[in-house]
Structure 1
Amino acid sequence: MSKKVLIIAHGHPEFNKGGGEQAAYQFYQECLNQGDDAYFLARTSVTPHGGAAFSTIKNEREILFHTTHDDFFLFSNIKTRHLWGDFADLLDQLAPEIIYCHHYFLLGVEMMKIIKQKLPNTKLVLTLHEYYAICNNAGLMIKTGGQNKLCFESGTRECNSCFPDKSPGDFFLRKKYIMSCFEVVDKFIAPSAFLRQRYIDWGISPETIHVVENGQLENIASEAMLLNNNKVNIVYIGQINSFKGIDVLLDALLLIPKESRQQFCIDIHGANFDSQPSSFQEKVYAQLKKLKDVVRMHGSYEPIELASILSVANWVVVPSIWWENSPMVIQEALNHQKPVIVSDIGGMAEKVEHNKTGLHFRAGSPVSLADTLQKVLNEPELADTLAKNITAPLSLSESYIKINKIIS
């Protein structure tokens, strides 16, 4: 049955290339495909004409919200008139029956309360793509201090040890504030069981949070590009920053003897490298210089290019050093029957079965990844063997049906 819905995201994929933005936008398109009267509201930093709170992109259904946080500790937008005034007016005009919120980052966590104050009978669904509410370190659940140690639990004293400028009391009040905004949410969606359990441990009721993977577009087969080599082709796709493990991958390649290393062709497709800290850029550039015959950096890509990028791959690699939740690239790789090499933690280990649909290696360890890459060379039939075990991940239509059953 057709219904009026609003999908809210912290960015529009036209400007922001992250997996969460893409998942939200694809869900919006699926709502339209299912016959819903759907609208997409995306936060943006693009300067609006005349200082307006809203503008549109592509069509009147895709709305840009020109706003940002006042307080990045609380994810608060409480001082800004746009969220309290203009946003409430927009809700009043659209009057959706269901609001699917895919984030509160850069929007303001108070958004949840405003929605329920203005539209108390509207069902509010929040997809938790990250661990921002749990962890003040960019939601990574990694200890500060530069050693990239994984964090296994949150707590006022533990968080204070990472951020000594904030007292344990500050973290206690932070959690209380965010929880008060979460209390008005009708249902939470977790794209992985790992993330769901993390939020249950943090305090969300198990009855309100459900696991539904990010749905994938139908796989339209792309004609494989002709390869002019007999090398093992491995593809990295995603953001490029210090937590995605690109440097771990490059260090692993440098540990492999040169004659073996040259049997690989590594293609890296990703955005935002130029905006990373100079120390990280310098490290990667130095690694790339030593690996110029093996590794190619391609820069950012558009979703429409994904099929052709994956068509040349024997393997996809996801070497992140943080827990991750449900990296879109894993679902995309499996959707194209490509086995995946992943770090053995978080949503990555959950989504890829070791020695069945891919391979695990010890997170953050170039030595372990080098051993895994050597295994790939030693067993040239392994990629095809594992590819045969892969079943298609959840489709967009299937995820749409599951979510709507949960909220019905």
Structure 2
Amino acid sequence: MKILVVAHRFPPKHQTGAELYSWRLARRLRKEGHEIVVFAADDDLMRRNYSVRTSDVDGLPVIEVQNHRLHRSFEETYIDPRMEAAFVDVLRNVRPDLVHFQHLLHHSVRYPRIAREAGIPSVLTLHEYWLLCGRNGQMQQGDGSNCERPSLDTCARCLCTFMWARQKIDLWMLRGLASVAKLTGVDLKAQARKLRLRRLVNTDPQSLSEEEIEFMRGQLLLREASVRDMFEMVDAVIAPSPSLRARFLEFGLDEESVILHDYGTDLKPFRNLTRVPRGEKLRVGFMGSVQPVKGVHLLVQAMADLEGLPIEATIHGDLSSKPEYVRALRKQLTPSVNLAGKIPSTAVPRFLSELDVLVVPSTWWENSPLVIHEAFAAGVPVVCSGMGGMADLVKDGVSGLHFETGNADDLAAQLRRLVEEPGLLERLVAGIPEIEDIRRDARFHSKLFEAVLLHHEELAAENDIEDLALDF
């Protein structure tokens, strides 16, 4: 089967959860005998907006379109006619049997309709809440407070204070700064971002006019209608976590149409992994994006509270994306915390083998964090925020411990338990569940794709459609 995979970003340049999973699943599906082509968006500011380039990533043909997010309206954040034109070209040239939409951020929610009208079935995987939340899909307001569910008035106020587009002056400025950084090594992006935020965004929701809020309410109703139409166009929807699935059922999706199926993990690097025995100190780790929403500051604060106890922490993640945040973290560091920077994916199993516990302190809902899957694959229990997809994966007191989201004192209390309670760590290790292998995950997708394609062909036969091949 020829499958077109649509992703918002793709490795090797982009290496966060959804991108890595899309890449790993695509590689495994190719090994299962499918022909895979990837269509992704990118944001290389030194390339022309909407220009197309092709590359090869581990044998996967990847078609990338530059989308610099120079949106002329809020509508273009989810319906982008020029990205749609690129998608039509890809469908015409690739002629896939099926499209797997991994993410439509930076693309257009009308892609599934375009595919349906071209006679091509599609499957959509949900990775977070972008289809419900226009603010990065995190169901979190500008002040960091979490939303239980979308609310028209709350969302309108929130998005009035959100910088959802760039202007051309931003593009020119960022290109200039990139050139300066290349020539001098001096990175001024953080300072430029502060100026840009002051210029473009009213960050005080209380000072918004009723006209601004009412306008955004109307925009959100249009967005919701477009998203609902998109769901009508896909043939199957996959939700990796119960929490994520529940949110979309609340949105109105039919229970039978949303398949609960968690991510698979490449377990090969974890086979025959030799665990490094615990020493005198409890070894705590963090892996992920070093930014506020990931709660790294909570771990740093908790470790400060535990100073003097036999415990140490290593934090791995990109330290360049949020320089102001990293500077604030450095000011709070105690000798027991090592801010270690990026870790290559090939080094992850070894790093985990040297830990006693992994901390996932995210302040937003999350979906099904890959880092928890990898920790469990390495036999490492997890201390996490007790909400969303994290709580779905980590059973409190069984395979890890929960702490109150955003509460560094409670995180410190849970880590203290691991230091002081005899046998607790061993019980948590024994409670770690089996993790889905990426090979079995790929076979699940193969069967689903085959069923969707068969159903599509049966419908075509019932409607006496002789040929559903592309005809643009």
TM-score normalised by L of structure 1? 0.89
Q: Verify: 1:298 aligned to 2:340, yes or no.
A: yes
**1:220 maps to 2:271:** yes
Corresponding residue to 2:308 among 259, 263, 266:
259
Aligned partners of 1:58 and 1:398: how far apart in 2? 22
* CA-CA distance at 1:314 after TM superposition: 0.5
Displacement after TM superposition at 1:375 (Å):
0.3
Q: Alpha-carbon deviations, 1:69-95, whole Å to 9, x = none?
A: 454844335242xx3333312212222
Q: Could you tell me how far apart the structure 2 residues matched to 1:254 and 1:185 are?
A: 49
Which of 359, 380, 401 is the aligned partner of 1:338?
Answer: 380
Instruction: State the match for 1:199 in structure 2.
Output: 248
Structure number, greater radius of gyration: 2
**Corresponding residue of 2:94:** 94
Cα distance, 1:99 vs structure 2: 1.6
Aligned to 2:193: none
1:394 to 412, 433, 436: 436
CA change 1:113–1:128 in 2 (3 A) is: same
Q: CA contact under 8 A between 2:264 and 2:438: conserved in structure 1? A: yes
CA offsets 1:315-338 (integer angstroms, 9 cap, x no match): 011000111111110111111111
Separation in 2, partners of 1:115, 1:321: 36
**Structure 2 residues without counterparts, runs of 5 or longer:** 161-211, 452-472
| 1:380 Cα deviation from its structure 2 partner | 4.9
1:268 has 2:315 as partner:
yes
Which residue is 2:150 aligned to?
154
Encode CA deviations 1:362-393: one digit per residue, 9 max, x unaligned. 11101111110110110253222211222321
| Separation (CA, whole Å) in 1 of partners of 2:354 and 2:252 | 44
**Root mean square deviation, CA, Å:** 2.2
Query: Does 2:200 correspond to 1:171?
Result: no
Q: Give the distance between the partners of 1:33 and 1:129, measured in 2 at CA.
A: 24
Count residues in correspondence.
391
The alpha-carbon distance between structure 1 residues 131 and 348, as it changes in their structure 2 partners (threshold 3 A), is: same
> Partner residue of 1:350?
392
| Change beyond 3 A, Cα 1:152–1:394 | same
The equivalent residue for 1:371 is 413
SS at match of 2:12: coil
Q: Secondary structure at the match of 1:198?
A: helix
Q: Give the Cα–Cα distance (whole angstroms) in 2 for the partners of residues 126 and 349 of structure 1.
A: 24
Q: Partner residue of 2:103?
A: 103
8 Å CA contact 1:109, 1:181 repeated in 2: yes
Once residues 92 and 126 of structure 1 are traced to their aligned partners in structure 2, the CA distance between those partners, rounded to angstroms, is: 20
CA displacement at 1:339 relative to structure 2? 0.4
Equivalent positions of 1:300-315 (< 5 A) are 300-315=342-357
Q: TM-score, normalised by structure 2?
A: 0.78
Q: Distance in 1 between matches of 2:374 and 2:395?
A: 15
Query: How far apart are the structure 2 equivalents of 1:189 and 1:390?
Result: 24
Q: Tell me, yes or no, if the aligned pair for 1:316 and 1:341 is still in contact at 8 Å.
A: yes
Find the aligned partners of 1:60 and 1:216 in 2 and give their Cα distance: 20
1:54 and 2:53 equivalent? Answer: yes
**Aligned residue type for 1:265:** E
Contact kept, 8 Å, 2:36 with 2:61, in 1: the verdict is no
Shift of the alpha carbon at 1:166? 4.3
> Which residue identity lines up with residue 205 of structure 1 in the other structure?
D
Q: Do the aligned partners of residues 329 and 217 (structure 1) sit closer, same or farther apart at CA in structure 2, a change above 3 Å counting?
A: same
Equivalent residues of 1:142, 1:322 under 8 A apart: yes
Q: Aligned partners of 1:161, 1:76: CA distance in 2, in Å?
A: 19
Identity across aligned pairs (percent)?
Answer: 26
Alignment gaps of 5+ in structure 1: none
Shift of 1:265: 1.6
Cα pair 1:48 1:66 within 8 Å, conserved: no
Displaced runs of 4 or more, over 6 A: none
Cα pair distance change 1:79/1:7, threshold 3 Å: closer
Counterpart Cα distance in 1 of 2:48 and 2:74: 29
Amino acid at match of 2:34: D
CA distance in 2, matches of 1:73, 1:50: 18
Among candidates 33, 36, 46, match of residue 34 of structure 2: 36
